[in-house]
Amino acid sequence: MLINFKKLGSALAEAGLTDKPVSAYSKEEVGTLAQVVISSLVPPKKGPFLAPYINNLELIIPAEADPKYWWWSPAGQSIAVTLRELKVSEEVWEHYLNTDFDIPF
């Protein structure tokens, strides 16, 4: 997986995460750091994408998945849309509806 380091550096600076050590980050800043790093990944340009799948009721989105499944990306679709596309079981829907995730559903 490739990383767009220019985008990563710009996003870290914009989020104010470059002036202190990672060990001093708040919970919110760690979340922002994760989002910034993930959004800086560059998907493979050729070849087939890996499909998202369910494992133990959890939606797994491989790094090599089509960027449309990257719910954390501005261009990505929501988790609910992906679950509908995957035609998941009632049990998976219940898992997502009854769990307090820190992610947009």
Encode pLDDT of 24-50 as tens digits.
999 889 888 888 888 787 765 666 889
Lowest mean pLDDT segment, chosen from 6-10, 13-17, 97-101:
97-101
HEC sequence for the chain:
CEECHHHHHHHHHHCCCCCCCHHHCCHHHHHHHHHHHHHCEECCCCCCCECCEEECCEEECCCCECHHHCCCCCCCCCHHHHHHHHCCCHHHHHHHHCCCCCCCC
Comparing 17 with 4, which gets the higher pLDDT?
Answer: 17
Would you list the domain boundaries of the chain?
Answer: 2-42, 53-97
Model confidence, pTM: 0.56
